[in-house]
Structure formats: structure tokens, C-alpha cells
Amino acid sequence: GEDVEQSLFLSVREGDSSVINCTYTDSSSTYLYWYKQEPGAGLQLLTYIFSNMDMKQDQRLTVLLNKKDKHLSLRIADTQTGDSAIYFCAENPPRDDKIIFGKGTRLHILP
Amino acid sequence: EPEVTQTPSHQVTQMGQEVILRCVPISNHLYFYWYRQILGQKVEFLVSFYNNEISEKSEIFDDQFSVERPDGSNFTLKIRSTKLEDSAMYFCASSEGHEQYFGPGTRLTVT
């Protein structure tokens, strides 16, 4: 069935790059997303990538998509304390309204 | 920047009671959604709504649940007779295309 998997925790030093990885099962998913959730807040759409792309860059964020391996990653350059949050990978299967979420990766920033 | 809003932020109710969770989607959006996140689990899709009717619903969205757009701005989720296992964070989302924007959530606690 449809599933999105990601590691639960990542610790990174302030100023380093963070790379959060995700695998998904539906190779025909049309859109893949990264959402950010800060403590006590909702889900903020950070960025998304269309399935016919392999890379998307938006300021400090770089999304890489490997369709063959069904692997998605989010790179945050120059990680700041404000980047501390849970990051959710998500897919939108074709002809489907819903978004399917992973469990989220908690990013912890070390001083 | 327009955003999705939800009220209340926290609702405590007794088992068997009816609750209505309210959402104000982004004004020019045409698609509306409800998701929930049980503590420690994934964000799960409940239902999508378009053109004043349900377009898709999950297995979770049984006869105890209903949605309504009572006027031009609000979108509500009603749970008729709450159960302990309905305790969760409920997120409303809206979109005009493939980007779903989420509200801050309503934490529902059923005692």
C-alpha cells in the first residue's frame, strides 16, 4: 500500500547543512512535499516538487528527487536554530485528493 | 499572507458528546480537507470537499463524522458521538490546486 518512511531524528550543528531523507512507495505520485511543524504550530508547506523534476532549489532549501529509487531529500543549508522543528515528507498519489504523510523527522540543532 | 484558521485551539469533551470543529479556509480556495494526527502517529487524511460535496473520504471517516460548509467562509467537521480514540489533533487544509495549506489545528481531548 501507500507509505512514506523517514527517520525520526536528526541532530545537526548550527551552520552545517541538514539533509533529511524520505522514501515513498507510489512511483506514480505526482507531487512530493516537505512540511515543517514547529512546536505548538500547524503544518507549514515548505516546498514541493513535481514528479518530472529531479531538483528544486528555494533559497536555503534544496529538494532532490530520485524517482527510480523513490527517494526524496530535503537539504537545509547553513542550518539555524529557527530550523529546529519536525519535517514531514508527503506524497500526493495520482488522481487522489489526499496527501500521505511520513511520521516526521525531528531536527535538533546543536550549538 | 492569507492563512487557514481553526477554532477552538483546544476542545475537551466527554465521551458520547457531539463536537464541531471549525475552520476558515483561505478565501479563494475551492478544495477543503480535514486530517487528524493521533499523538505519536502519522497525519492521516479524513475527507476532502469540493463544490459542496465530499469528493473523497478515508476509512476513518465513518458515519460518526460529517462535514459542512454552512456559509461562504466556514468549513466544519462534526463528530456525532465522540469516543476516547477520537482524541487527536485535527487539521483543516485548503487548496486551489496541488498545494494544500494547513491550519494550526484543534486539539480534541475526549474524556
What are B20-59's pLDDT values in tens digits?
999 999 999 999 999 999 998 899 999 999 999 999 999 9
Contact between B99 and B93 under an 8 Å Cβ cutoff? The reply is: no
Give the three-state DSSP class for A89. strand
Closest CA to B39 of B93, B98, B105, B99: B105
At A11, the pLDDT band (50, 70, 90 cuts) reads: very high
Query: Which one of B102, B106, B107 would you mutate to disrupt binding with A, by most A Cβ within 10 Å of its Cβ?
Result: B102
At A89, the pLDDT band (50, 70, 90 cuts) reads: very high
pLDDT digits (tens, 9 = 90+) for B75-93: 999 999 999 999 999 999 9
DSSP 8-state code for residue A82:
G
Option in A42, A98, A99 nearest B103 (CB): A42
| Residue appearing with cell numbers 483561505 | B26
Contacts of A86 (CB under 8 A, 6+ apart): A36, A37, A104, A105, A106, A107
C-alpha cell at A10: 536528526
B103: chain A residues, CB-CB within 8 Å: 42
Contact between B32 and B69 under an 8 Å Cβ cutoff? The reply is: yes
Rounded percentage of chain A residues whose pLDDT exceeds 90: 77
At B2, the pLDDT band (50, 70, 90 cuts) reads: confident
A92 to chain B: closest CA residue? B98
For A46, phi and psi rounded to 5 degrees? -85, -50
At A42, the pLDDT band (50, 70, 90 cuts) reads: confident
Beta bridge partners of A53: none
At A1, the pLDDT band (50, 70, 90 cuts) reads: low
Q: Is the pLDDT of residue A95 over 70?
A: yes
B55: chain A residues, CB-CB within 8 Å: 97
